[in-house]
Amino acid sequence: MRGVSLFGFTVIFGLLMALSCSNEMESCDYSGPTRGLSLAGAEFASDVEGFSNLNHGRLGSSYIYNSKRTIDWFAGQGVELFRIPFRWERLQPVLGGPLDSAELLALRENVKWVHDAGGRAILDCHNYGRYAYQEGKFIIEALIDHSYGERVVVSQEHFADLWVKIGQAFARTDARPWAYGLMNEPHGTKRSLWQKATQHVVTCIREAGDNSLLLIPGLDWSSSERWVRANGAKSWVQDPLDHFAYEAHAYFDADGSGQYRWSWEEELQRDPNIRQRAAKRLNPFLSWCAKNKVNAFIGEFGVPATNAGWGEVLQGALQIMDQSHVQGCYWAAGEWWGPYPLSIQPDRAFTHAPTQLGWLMGRN
């Protein structure tokens, strides 16, 4: 936001957050953890050719849910919030049908391990606003509520059915998710359709008696910088419990993709103000939430460890989040990452922590 100092913005945002949460602190539950991470793995191999609800790979060979050892290790490092991605096609291979028992068991195990380690779990439907639907030999990357020919392949009713059934499956367990991340990085759809679909999911979840915290993603890959342009000026969700937050994502490379194609030196040459980039990326979203008196959540952010400058950018982002009382999850941990530059997964012996973990936890 031009012409507004970071300090002034933080004070305004903090006051509005206090106003929005003053009725019941429990309804916002934002006094909890501020450092979290995603446990990538269960969404892997969904970009391979031929992936669909009928051909979604095998658990343990195509994709994984991370182990108790990983969760316990990060909990021991002070991480309290764990975002667990999953693919809709694997959890519910038939739209409107039952949840797959093996997939549900793996999700339940991860949530229980997080709970037993003293953490909180977020379930993240990592589908980008679509569902890979196979009919015969043809696969449609079907956007929610879009018409293909003369029919809607994946409807808002299907979307709501998924989350209602997840809620019912966890209602009978001692370890329940802290929040539902309704959808990861939706894009390519119309604003009106997306806002109508997310409102329908919220309504159905509440009508089913589920009071879980709901994370509502924005369009255009949930970009925090492009939030207003993608989603309009006003909040669109009506929740009778007022127990939701909008979810945005923020990466700090030149194009905001999180791929970090250029070195720090190349980025610095292109943008001498790169160290202030965190504010440029985060403030549009945080300001929008403040103006609308709604809660904010940063579902993904991350940097490579190739230069200490990236640590300064990350720490700047964390300072803004902390001052604004906004929680978030670093992208990402995960046992199958290998040399992925943003990974904070330790080595196989769990003896060496990547540099970014120190930045995240304020130790470097």
Q: Sketch the domain layout of the chain as residue ranges.
A: 6-361
- Tell me which residue has tokens 């409102």: 199
Mean pLDDT throughout 341-354?
Answer: 96
How confident is residue 53, by pLDDT bands cut at 50, 70 and 90?
very high
What six digits make up the tokens of 54?
């009928």
What six digits make up the tokens of 13?
């945002």
β-pairing, 327-333 with 179-181?
unpaired
Mean pLDDT throughout 262-278?
Answer: 97
Query: pLDDT tens digits for 169-195?
Result: 999 899 999 999 999 999 999 999 999
- Whether the per-residue pLDDT at 238 is higher than 90: the answer is yes
Q: How distant, in Å, are the alpha carbons of 41, 51, 95, 346 from that of 61?
A: 11, 14, 24, 21
Which residue has better confidence, 23 or 278? 278
- Whether the per-residue pLDDT at 29 is higher than 70: the answer is no
- Whether the per-residue pLDDT at 103 is higher than 60: the answer is yes
Query: pLDDT tens digits for 285-316?
Result: 999 999 999 999 999 999 999 999 999 999 99
Contact 359, 307 (CB under 8 A): no
Helix (H, G, I), strand (E, B) or coil at 120: strand
Question: What mean pLDDT value characterizes the chain?
Answer: 91
pLDDT of residue 2: 28
Q: How distant, in Å, are the alpha carbons of 17, 110, 126, 162, 193 from that of 170?
A: 30, 12, 19, 13, 29
Burial class, 266, CB count within 10 angstroms (exposed 0-12 / middle 13-18 / buried 19+): exposed
237: which DSSP letter?
-
DSSP 309-363: HHHHHHHHHHHHHHHTT-EEEEEEE-TT-TT-TT--PPPTTS----HHHHHHHT-
Give how far the C-alpha of residue 155 lies from the chain's centroid of Cα atoms, to the nearest Å: 22
pLDDT of residue 8: 32
How confident is residue 235, by pLDDT bands cut at 50, 70 and 90?
very high
Q: Which CATH superfamily is domain 6-361 in?
A: Glycosidases (3.20.20.80)
- Whether the per-residue pLDDT at 226 is higher than 80: the answer is yes
- Whether the per-residue pLDDT at 12 is higher than 70: the answer is no
Q: What is the pTM of this model?
A: 0.91
How confident is residue 28, by pLDDT bands cut at 50, 70 and 90?
very low
Q: How many other C-beta atoms can be found within 10 angstroms of the C-beta atom of residue 146?
A: 17
CA 9 to CA 102: how far, in whole Å? 47
pLDDT of residue 172: 85
pLDDT of residue 7: 29
Mean pLDDT throughout 2-27?
Answer: 34
CA 207 to CA 344: how far, in whole Å? 39
